[in-house]
Structure 1
């Protein structure tokens, strides 16, 4: 967001780009990553990596990212390429056409959701149930905490399984939004919280296979912060979910990250047998302690800045 970014590179504390609430200063992880002059992918080097018609020299960009990460002023647009939102071999014109088509599709989905739950798109959000488990609307709007957005009346669609399941998710998304990156000044704004809730709610409507699972809010939050346009943030999140969706598949017999936990166990066993043996003796041999770390890509273990740098290396 323009409010939080400046164009001048600096070796000063990077948390200044993503202000932390004063009362949270002592409770959040300290940032270790620093901008390095001549190493970090700057806005100048980023723009220079494009040909005249828009083809991106992705290899040079990736080499620069590996050396020093991405400058905060361009993290959003770079992340779009790292996640595969755009083909580096495409032209400016092709990307503009694709972006416009995606924005139109997003607005179509948003309009569908607004017809069912009018609070969507109002800058407000829901954090209490709006329907019962069997699909009946909850009339007491005072207890629905819809932030003055209103609750839809009963309709014939409420009996449809997809609509009911989706509406039952909305308040859980809202509760998770209230807990998302709450140490950042950015989320002191209700409109920013509502933007995150709206993107997650619309994604849950579109992706009937996964819907919404707790932790997706942590993956989506950086897109909301880095990309000002709501539709662009949605599509960036959608591309991330294409890579990470298996993390959020859970059943009675398996967890979405179970394979990754097994891989982590094999790596630690090979690299540090004593540590692996100790974990087994502590009944941690299944590495369930790393469940959250892998599921949301260390978003809650590292500072916001450090987790973004990790993503830049991971998604390259």
Structure 2
């Protein structure tokens, strides 16, 4: 089966859980589709050593050094706070002194050294959790997370430029595909579309059950119809609640509360079908609504910058 056939099958049918560990690596760009088994085995051995090298950078920091390393202390404190409240209802992470929570913390700390400029931001633990759940191995989860962050890293820019570009693209797509809904948001002074902020930031992670989130992510990662298919998912959800939103004359605060209240109440299969139809309908006009460079971009070569090295409450 070639990569196009695989991508199409995943988009329309998803994956059995036992296949995810291997296939997600291809979807994320961790592996190249044309790579051989021998090449992948060699890559694994290199990345395992590379991970340990990066991890040792923070593991070797003494208590005395940490006292003079404010950024490290701040990031570690934020990560420690976040991991203990990330997906603790999922059996893999539940319970006191769960070693998987420690691994989650270690990967995030290591990433904060791997990409020191970006560091750690709230929401990253949400993105890592399903990856660790699928990969199980620490170094594989780390490099898979690195691959995902090559796409989603701009979501966490301190100036929020990555988020603003996606919300702008979303507004243009809604204007194209549902002019009356867009006009309503204009009249309600909601054209910044910030009520969709959480959806985009962590890729609907808190809107669906764990298994459904993983299914949605692999659909998004295929880039089958668009590398910005997540924006069409947003529109499909909004359109499904259009009547209620407009009839109740929701303002921004009411709309934000309503949107957040949809968590675990959205029919994912229906939304994916509707988003597909919207994407096909939009066609080239839809693509033109999305400025070049708008996240998530296509995967990049992870090995090109192996050691290229904000903490606000946003969720």
**Equivalent in the alignment of 1:72:** 17
**Equivalent in the alignment of 1:285:** 191
Which residues in structure 2 correspond to 1:1-316 (within 5 Å)?
49=1, 57-116=2-61, 152-155=62-65, 158-159=67-68, 163-189=69-95, 190-251=98-159, 254-316=160-222
- From the two aligned structures, give the one with the greater helix fraction: 2
Deviation (angstroms), 1:164:
2.7
> Taking structure 1 as the reference length, what is the TM-score of the superposition?
0.67
Deviation (angstroms), 1:66:
1.9
The one of the two structures with greater contact order (alpha-carbon pairs below 8 A, sep at least 6) is: 2
CA distance in 1, matches of 2:5, 2:108: 33
CA distance in 1, matches of 2:207, 2:153: 20
Alignment check: 8 A CA contact 1:265 1:286 kept: yes
CA distance in 2, matches of 1:203, 1:236: 11
**Equivalent in the alignment of 2:241:** none
Gaps of at least 5 residues in structure 2 are 223-315
Query: In structure 2, the residue corresponding to 1:185 is in which secondary structure?
Result: coil
Deviation (angstroms), 1:237:
0.1
**Equivalent in the alignment of 2:312:** none
Alignment check: 8 A CA contact 2:55 2:110 kept: yes
CA deviations over 1:264-300 (Å, ceiling 9, x no partner) = 1111111112211222233211100111111111101
Query: In structure 2, the residue corresponding to 1:154 is in which secondary structure?
Result: helix
CA distance in 1, matches of 2:213, 2:188: 28
Deviation (angstroms), 1:61:
1.2
Change (3 A) 1:255 1:183: farther
CA deviations over 1:92-148 (Å, ceiling 9, x no partner) = 1111001110000111122222111xxxxxxxxxxxxxxxxxxxxxxxxxxxxxxxx
Deviation (angstroms), 1:255:
4.1
Pairwise CA RMSD = 1.5
Q: Which has the larger radius of gyration?
A: 1
Deviation (angstroms), 1:158:
4.8
Deviation (angstroms), 1:207:
0.6
CA distance in 2, matches of 1:186, 1:273: 44
Gaps of at least 5 residues in structure 1 are 1-48, 50-56, 117-151
Query: In structure 2, the residue corresponding to 1:256 is in which secondary structure?
Result: helix
Alignment check: 8 A CA contact 2:168 2:192 kept: yes
Q: How many residues align?
A: 220
Alignment check: 8 A CA contact 1:268 1:276 kept: yes
CA distance in 2, matches of 1:272, 1:256: 24
> Taking structure 2 as the reference length, what is the TM-score of the superposition?
0.67
Change (3 A) 1:200 1:103: same
CA deviations over 1:78-100 (Å, ceiling 9, x no partner) = 11110000111111111100111
Between 1:174-183 and 1:95-104, the stretch displaced more is 174-183
Alignment check: 8 A CA contact 1:80 1:236 kept: yes
